[in-house]
Amino acid sequence: MCGRYTLAAGPEYIADYFHIDGPIPEFQPSWNITPGGDIPVICQAPDDGRTCSLMHWGLIPHWARAPDSKYKMINAKAETLSQRPAYRDAYKHRRCLIPANGFYEWHTTAQGKQPYYIHRKDDGLLAFAGLWEYWEREHIINSCTIITTIANPLIRSIHDRMPVILNQENYNSWLDPHNTDTNSLVNLLGPCDNNLLDSYRISTAVNNPAHDNQTLIDRID
């Protein structure tokens, strides 16, 4: 799964890296992004370029009667996107990218859960494959979820699942709003190259959502 991640890159860097057309919202760098907050999300309009907006992390189905906390859809399994009613329509029409510098995962040991930080070896940006949805009643809420897949060998020693991380050459294919043939997207939803990432143990300070500073990603022995 993917329940916490980091985004240290600022709005200008995000705009340049993802070739955003138009304004980009202001947001603060964070080393402990948690579900339920508003996060930067990259989308593409049918007759326009790429956009970036802030969306609620935790997808709220458009058919939900209310944005209830029972819809804690922070992750969506790649293997069942076409079957789950909450994701099926978004998979066809509302795909997105979620920028990150790295993410956290916890490995269960006899002594408890040990957190790890996972990031690109070159410290570049990651782009998680995601879906977004809109909920409209008395007001509008745009929300999103991060797609997960089976773990590659590096992550498998920590956890059995990981976020889908897309290569830059696949951004256009994933975002293309004219492509509603989800069968053509299946090959994009596997685990990323094992050599792309590095992982290491970090302090349990990350367990507390109130902690948010760069020391959270410091390596420990």
Q: What is the pLDDT of residue 195?
A: 95
Identified catalytic residue from 2, 96, 144, 192: 2
Q: Who wins on pLDDT, 70 or 85?
A: 85
Q: What is the pLDDT of residue 71?
A: 56
Band of pLDDT at residue 172, cut at 50, 70 and 90:
very high
CB atoms within 10 A of CB 71: 16
Active site includes 2?
yes
Residue 211 burial (C-beta neighbours within 10 Å; 0-12, 13-18, 19+): middle
- Indicate the domain borders of the chain: 5-217
Active site includes 133?
no
Tell me the average pLDDT across 30-35.
97
As a whole number of angstroms, the distance between CA 53 and CA 139 comes to 17
Is 38:55 a contact under the CB 8 Å cutoff?
Answer: yes
pTM for the structure as a whole: 0.96
What's the CATH fold of domain 5-217? hypothetical protein yedk fold (3.90.1680)
**pLDDT surpasses 60 at 70:** no
The residue whose two tokens read 């685990």 is: 191
Identified catalytic residue from 43, 96, 105, 144: 105
As a whole number of angstroms, the distance between CA 149 and CA 167 comes to 15
Q: What is the mean pLDDT of the chain?
A: 94
pLDDT by residue (tens digit) across 126-160? 999 999 999 998 889 999 999 999 999 999 999 99
Band of pLDDT at residue 69, cut at 50, 70 and 90:
low
